[in-house]
């Protein structure tokens, strides 16, 4: 089963000892339209470090003009800074957060 990691919570790293599972993990993912094998890590420590980052920063994020892409917490921060420039959260759903260099519109003052 292939599942996006955003649907996983509290996941970790385990060694794979079954030759059948290794064969399945190292075959190209042609059923997903990919002609390469999934990423495997050289050491357990490397895999655990990546899993820790994925748990802490589970949500993909990018600028609306694609000038940068990164990962952020869920829920995402309202603004982030890249290369000295502030970007504001413009769109957010279960798949991604999109940031804009333009601040959100100001709310109109209350009547009266």
Contact at 8 Å (CB) between 59 and 89?
no
Residue 73 pLDDT class (50, 70, 90 cuts): very high
Res. 80: pLDDT tops 90: yes
- Could you tell me the pLDDT band of residue 102, with boundaries at 50, 70 and 90? very high
Question: pTM surpassing 0.75?
Answer: no
Domain ranges of the chain: 1-9+16-56, 57-104
Range from 31-35, 48-52, 77-81 that averages highest in pLDDT: 77-81
pLDDT at 21 over 90: no
């Amino acid at each position: 089963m292939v599942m996006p990691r955003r649907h996983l919570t509290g996941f970790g790293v385990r060694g794979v000892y079954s030759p059948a599972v290794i064969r399945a993990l190292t075959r190209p993912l042609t059923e997903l339209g990919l002609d390469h094998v999934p990423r495997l890590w050289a050491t357990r420590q490397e895999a655990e470090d990546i899993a820790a980052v994925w748990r802490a920063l589970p949500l993909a994020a990018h600028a609306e003009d694609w000038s940068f892409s990164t990962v952020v917490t869920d829920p995402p921060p309202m603004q982030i800074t890249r290369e000295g420039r502030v970007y504001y959260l413009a769109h957010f759903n279960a798949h991604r957060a999109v940031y804009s260099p333009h601040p959100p519109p100001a709310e109109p003052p209350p009547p009266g």
